[in-house]
Amino acid sequence: MTSNVWAVARKEFDDAGRSRLLWALVGLLVLVAAVGYAALWYADEPVTASEALAFLGVPLQVLLPIAALVVGYMAVVGERRSGSIKLLLGLPPTRTDVVLGKLLGRLAVVGVAVGLAFVVALVLGAILFGEAPVFDWLAFGAITLLFGAVFVAVAVGVSAAVSTRGRAMALVVGCYVAIVAFWELLTAGPYYLLYGHGPPVQAAPWYLVLEQFNPVLAYTTLTNLVLENDLVPLQFQYGLESIEAAGMTPAERYPGDAPVYLQEWFASVALLIWLVVPVAIGYYRFTRADL
């Protein structure tokens, strides 16, 4: 790794800072925060600022992955298609510098959007609910950043791995659909075939590990751990899994003391693994590709 990673990352950020995409993204997330807070305040329910913050996790579960995938999926393949990668790699930056720099630059873009949305949430929380829960705010902000970073990493990894825009788009859409829409089919489906029934609350450990590694579930698990709230993961339900299991963390479903890898805090490790593996695969393919 050289200082050229930072040079590429700064160029990326400069470039993105001039793109309408970033500002549309910032606008969307800020709008979601503002509208959510206004709606809660208007409903006149007895809500604390901390609860309002957790409520923000509902739209973010859906929107942040989409936004992050959109920000990242053209990162590398876009330059391959346009030909600007020849200008870039004709200079000293290596393919390693390019992938890591792209990842950092695009992470910064999503970071700015999430950061601004959270500033709005903090200010509105103070104005509407008379509280500024700074610790909760920082912790939830960090978890949300990690969650967004996972999808940026998936998108950049895909972008580095493929040679056409169409394939990149198909793969990121596929990833999103697999995680949000088909997760239960992909995990509880095989479970059903193996055991003749869907996963009960106390499902087999391998199934709970898979649940632990669902990024959306990991996000709600971590959020609930820190905010002591009941943020429910938004996923398509197919009725394969026991209804009682909905909203339970893998640790709660494990009979007795959960092993380390099923404990709630371990969801952060699951997200970190998601952050690294797709980029590593994309990097591996990109360094071996004919451009």
Which CB atom, from 85 or from 123, has the smaller least distance to another protein? 85
Say how far apart CA 291 and CA 61 lie, in whole Å: 35
> Taking the complex as a whole, how short is the minimal distance between the CB of residue 230 and another protein, in angstroms?
43
> Taking the complex as a whole, how short is the minimal distance between the CB of residue 79 and another protein, in angstroms?
8
Which CB atom, from 239 or from 288, has the smaller least distance to another protein? 288
Which CB atom, from 19 or from 237, has the smaller least distance to another protein? 19
Contact by Cβ (8 Å): 238, 192: no
> Taking the complex as a whole, how short is the minimal distance between the CB of residue 94 and another protein, in angstroms?
5
Say how far apart CA 57 and CA 232 lie, in whole Å: 9
Which CB atom, from 45 or from 290, has the smaller least distance to another protein? 290
Which CB atom, from 18 or from 197, has the smaller least distance to another protein? 18
> Taking the complex as a whole, how short is the minimal distance between the CB of residue 70 and another protein, in angstroms?
17
Cβ neighbourhood burial of 102 (10 Å; 0-12, 13-18, 19+):
buried
> Taking the complex as a whole, how short is the minimal distance between the CB of residue 29 and another protein, in angstroms?
21
Which CB atom, from 11 or from 167, has the smaller least distance to another protein? 11
> Taking the complex as a whole, how short is the minimal distance between the CB of residue 71 and another protein, in angstroms?
15
Which positions lie near another protein, rule CB under 8 A?
Answer: 4, 7-8, 11, 14-15, 18-19, 82-84, 86-87, 89-94, 288, 290-291
> Taking the complex as a whole, how short is the minimal distance between the CB of residue 24 and another protein, in angstroms?
14
Q: Quick one: three-class SS letters along the chain?
A: CCCHHHHHHHHHHHHHHCCHHHHHHHHHHHHHHHHHHHHHHHHCCCCCHHHHHHHCHHHHHHHHHHHHHHHHCCCCHHHHHHCHHHHHHHCCCCHHHHHHHHHHHHHHHHHHHHHHHHHHHHHHHHHHHCCCCHHHHHHHHHHHHHHHHHHHHHHHHHHHHCCCHHHHHHHHHHHHHHHHHCHHHHHHHHHHHHHCCCCCCCCCHHHHHHHHCCHHHHHHHHHHHHHCCCCCCCCCCCCCCCHHHCCCCHHHHCCCCCCHHHCCCHHHHHHHHHHHHHHHHHHHHHHCCCC
> Taking the complex as a whole, how short is the minimal distance between the CB of residue 21 and another protein, in angstroms?
10
Which CB atom, from 63 or from 89, has the smaller least distance to another protein? 89
Which CB atom, from 84 or from 164, has the smaller least distance to another protein? 84
